[in-house]
């Protein structure tokens, strides 16, 4: 999802910062969708990055920048232990190894999409930049290990890496995925489409969010930032919006009206509540803010961004 939004933004801009884009290669396990009328050449490759030697072929053209977004999401990584490690860890390691193997002064900027799942309980109410990573899920563990690899390969000057710990992306467009956090988007997306959404947790649950538009901005800023200002700490927690589920619902009401709230159904799920209880609630992302990363101002803005970007500025009419 983020890859699609990222390439659409690149197609509109035609440049990364002040540098014109010549070629973009889209890589996925299914045929990637090309944006319409880009100002640069686009190539597509269908490949599984976790397959040995796949990454070597992808980097053979020596791209300047690699956005590494491929991942098995949280719920699926927990349900399928082997696949989670194969994709999230082995695939990342093979990408880094492919860059190292080229050598000959090749040092690409690799922007790695990490996650706030690298943090686990017990957690303070506000997590600062110096809090240690203690993941309590397989997905978070895989991302935390990949962060260490990214930093070490950067330290050894094989790559020029930047890791961005993304907040939960909300509102995700399209059909629900297998992420445990999917309900945060569903309770906004489905009612705005006139469909029923299931809420499996208490409305008192607090979490950290960013819109897809803000996440694309994070990735683009990470691609351009001067690596020297990062030093050896190459992974940053991104800024976001901390709200309770109740505050999400109130923002939905403020933007979409009272009628849409009737489409949210409370169906508690103990397994989801158990996982969510160990998740971060709020961050002080001072380092990222000081380095120029910018997030949404409020959750109401996140809802409005979804309506503008995905619904053409219109919402469904809910019958009374």
DSSP single-letter state for residue 7: H
Spot the catalytic one: 85, 106, 139, 153: 139
Write out the two tokens for 183. Answer: 């309900």
| Cis? peptide before 171, omega within 30° of 0 | yes
Query: Are 218 and 289 within 8 A, CB to CB?
Result: no
Residue 105 DSSP SS3 = coil
Main-chain phi, psi angles of 259, to 5 degrees: -65, -35
d(CA 304, CA 41): 32
Query: Are 171 and 302 within 8 A, CB to CB?
Result: yes
Considering Cα of 305, then 311, then 315, then 318, what sign does the dihedral take? negative
How many alpha carbons fall within 13 Å on the CB side of residue 275? 19
Catalytic residue flag (residue 153): no
Strands 206-210 and 41-46: unpaired
Name the E strands within 29-159. 41-46, 65-68, 109-115
Write out the two tokens for 140. Answer: 């978070």
**Annotated active-site positions, please?**
139
């Amino acid at each position: 999802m983020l890859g699609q939004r990222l390439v659409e933004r690149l197609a509109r801009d035609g440049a990364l910062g002040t540098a014109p884009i010549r070629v973009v290669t889209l890589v996925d396990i299914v045929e990637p969708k090309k944006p319409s009328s880009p100002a640069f050449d686009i190539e597509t490759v269908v490949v599984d990055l976790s397959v040995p030697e796949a990454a070597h072929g992808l980097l053979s053209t020596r791209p300047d920048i690699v956005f590494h977004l491929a991942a098995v999401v949280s719920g699926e990584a927990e349900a399928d232990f082997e696949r989670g490690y194969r994709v999230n860890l082995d695939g990342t390691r093979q990408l880094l190894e492919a860059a190292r193997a080229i050598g000959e002064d090749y040092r690409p900027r690799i922007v790695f999409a990490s996650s706030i799942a690298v943090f686990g309980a017990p957690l303070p109410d506000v997590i600062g930049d110096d809090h240690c990573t203690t993941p309590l899920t397989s997905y978070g563990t895989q991302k935390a290990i990949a962060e260490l690899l990214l930093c070490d390969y950067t330290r050894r000057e094989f790559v020029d890496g930047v890791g961005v710990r993304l907040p939960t992306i909300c509102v995700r467009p399209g059909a629900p995925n297998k992420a445990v956090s999917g309900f945060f988007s569903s309770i906004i997306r489905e009612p705005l489409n006139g469909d029923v959404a299931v809420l499996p947790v208490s409305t008192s649950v607090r979490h950290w969010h960013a819109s897809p538009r803000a996440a694309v901005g994070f990735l683009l800023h990470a691609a351009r930032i001067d690596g020297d200002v990062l030093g050896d700490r190459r992974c940053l927690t991104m800024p976001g919006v901390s709200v309770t589920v109740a505050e999400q619902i109130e923002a939905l009401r403020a933007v979409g009206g009272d009628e849409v709230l009737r489409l949210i159904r409370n169906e508690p799920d103990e397994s989801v509540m158990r996982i969510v209880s160990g998740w971060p609630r709020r961050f002080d992302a001072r380092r990222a803010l000081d380095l120029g990363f910018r997030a949404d101002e409020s959750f109401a803005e996140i809802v409005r961004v979804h309506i503008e970007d995905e619904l053409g500025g219109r919402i469904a009419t809910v019958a009374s």
